[in-house]
Amino acid sequence: MTRRVPILLRAAGRWAGATILAAVVAAPARSTEPVEAAPKPGRPFVARPTRTLADLPVLPIDASLDRFGGLAPATEQATGFFRVEKIGDRWWLVDPDGGRFISRGMNSVATVPTKGGRTALEKKFFDIGGWATTTSRLLRESGFNTTGAWSDHESLARVEPPLATCRLWSFMSSYGKKRGGTFMQAGHVGYPNDCPFIFDPEFPAFCREHARQLAAGKDDPWLLGHFSDNEMPWSLKLLENYLGLPESDPGHRAAKAWLAARRNGESGGAITDSDRGAFLEHAMDTYLGTVAAAIREHDPNHLFLGVRLHEPVFDLPEVYRAAGRHCDIVSVNYYRAWTPDREQMAMWAGQAKKPFMVTEHYAKGADSGMGNTGGAGWLVKTQQNRGRFYQNFALGLLESRHCVGWHWHRYADNDPDDKKVDPSNRDSNKGIVTARYEPWQPLLDEMRPFNERVYGIISWLDTRPSSDAPEALR
């Protein structure tokens, strides 16, 4: 099947405070054939079913958006801050003006810290202010409305109007750096025996002090919310891991005391799967309760986005039950899936009784000339196919009705000259621009038309007769 999808930019349309000139652009005709993808270099490419805008009715660009990029005129109560609300059977973010809002975000919107990156910045943008202005424009013109974790929030906030932003504060990893004992792993911080320092008696006081810095932004309407940490080692092995620490360690003592209380004073005997799941939920409750209390003490106005979860816990309901008790949104770094898993997503939202947001996903292009050995994203053959992955993945998220946004990882490609980063961030084509700030235009040409139609896609998904949906969308 082939279909031409018109991309119409509205005349003098207002998007987040920006005026957009009228233009008419036609997307190239293409077949909705599968995209070939591999988990990493050296593995075979396999054709994977891929749904795109070409599988949907022709939809106009979303019009009448408010200054944040939410739907206007506002239909919900304006509180001056972002919040979440379930309307009918779909979860939404509601922006400060009362507009229904879906976060289309970009992680690591920051300059490239190498010599080559600095030279390219001066040549293209003159200074950091020029970079921030041009980059904000690129994101807006590509349909993104949020900057995510690891972004240069201060520089970007000086651009008027700014983009909504999500901040990562790294409570546990910052405590671990002060305490000692952490180490670098691919993609995240490592802890002794995969045991974060949740049960250290000093951790709550550290969190209260660490959270003081959040007070400076507590009245900022452009701040969407706060992440506490990234990819901590949650797993069903956690109980045995803590019991495997030295007997003097606070984590060992806490795990032993918890197990004894569970068994009416007896801590011996074989550990069961029921014990493992209950302890994991207890550990999540302990950690999230501690950081949530510290965050809300200093910033009661913004959403708590929780700890960014990753693959080991995708099928563990205990994690999502605990997250739902403390977080406004459950955050998931969602890798290894070409298309989001409906049953998994339903479990996350059902156990948490809260919406979720995908806070990392991406695909790498073999045509980039990069090694692409680092990171968990898919490997595809072309930049256009990176964009087709984006459309397919986002369509599955919107179909779930539980997802309130997604953040691509990341703005710029890895720079092989940067030797200070962890091994997952050294040689891969993850960005929408190169490490020298050249846009990957075929990728953006696929991202933009989807982003510009998100609210129309939702309306179609929520009102279509089942007979109108392609087989894969039913």
pLDDT at residue 60 greater than cutoff 60: yes
Q: Residue 331 forms beta bridges with which residues? A: 357
Over residues 371-384, the mean pLDDT reads 97
Within 13 Å and on the Cβ side, how many CA atoms surround 133? 8
For the record, the structure tokens of 395 come out as 């369509």
* Calpha distance 348→15 (Å, rounded): 32
Number of domains forming the structure of the chain: 1
Q: 67 pLDDT band (50/70/90 cuts)?
A: very high
Q: Looking at residue 419, what is its pLDDT?
A: 87
Share of the chain above pLDDT 90, in %: 85
pLDDT bucket at 19, cuts 50 / 70 / 90:
very low
In a domain, 96, yes or no: no
Per the domain annotation, does 445 fall within a domain? yes
pLDDT over threshold 50, residue 170: yes
For residue 241, pLDDT over 50 is answered with: yes
- Three-state DSSP class for residue 61: coil
Instruction: With residue 307 as reference, give the H or E element that holds it.
Output: strand 303-308
Q: Is residue 22 part of a domain?
A: no
Task: Return the CATH number at 405.
Answer: 3.20.20.80
Averaged pLDDT for residues 219-247: 97
Mean per-residue pLDDT for 177-194?
89
Taking the CA atoms of residue 192, residue 193, residue 197 and residue 198 in that order, the dihedral angle to the nearest 10 degrees is: 170
Per-residue pLDDT, 424: 83
The answer to whether residue 362 scores a pLDDT higher than 80 is: yes
Query: Does residue 2 fall inside a structural domain?
Result: no
- Looking at the predicted structure, is the pLDDT value of residue 30 above 60? no
pLDDT exceeds 60 at position 24: no
State residue 444's pLDDT score.
98
Residue 12 has pLDDT above 60, yes or no: no
**pLDDT given at position 264:** 85
% residues pLDDT > 70 (the chain): 91
Of 77-91, 186-200, 341-355, 403-417, the range with the lowest mean pLDDT is: 186-200
In a domain, 414, yes or no: yes
Separation CA 232–CA 283 (nearest Å): 12
* 3-state secondary structure at position 58: coil
pLDDT at 467 over 60: no
Local confidence band at 186 (pLDDT 50, 70, 90 cut-offs): confident
Q: How confident is the model at residue 464 (pLDDT cuts 50, 70, 90)?
A: confident
**Phi/psi of residue 54, each to 5°?**
-65, -15
> Are 93 and 66 contacting, i.e. CB atoms less than 8 angstroms apart?
no
Gap between the Cα atoms of 355 and 195, Å rounded: 28
Report the predicted TM-score, pTM, of the whole model to 2 decimal places.
Answer: 0.91
Confidence of residue 465 (pLDDT cuts 50, 70, 90): low
pLDDT score of 348 more than 50 = yes
**225-239, 259-273, 413-427: least confident range:** 259-273
User: Is position 50 within any domain?
Assistant: no
How much is the mean pLDDT over the chain? 91
| Partner residues linked to 30 by β-bridges | none
Least confident range of 118-127, 188-197, 457-466: 457-466
Closest-CA residue to 391 (of 51, 14, 102) = 51
**DSSP track, 107-155:** S--S---SHHHHHHHHHHHSSHHHHHHHHHHHHHHTT--EE-TT--HHH
Residue 176 has pLDDT above 90, yes or no: yes
For residue 224, name the pLDDT band (cuts at 50, 70, 90): very high
Region 284-305: mean pLDDT is 98
Q: Which residues span the domain enclosing 176?
A: 101-473
Structure tokens at 444: 């953006």
> What does the pLDDT average to over 297-325?
97
pLDDT at 450: 98
266: confidence class by pLDDT, cuts 50, 70, 90: confident
What are the angstrom distances between the C-alpha of 304 and each of 180, 326, 361?
Answer: 27, 8, 21
pLDDT at residue 437, as a whole number: 98
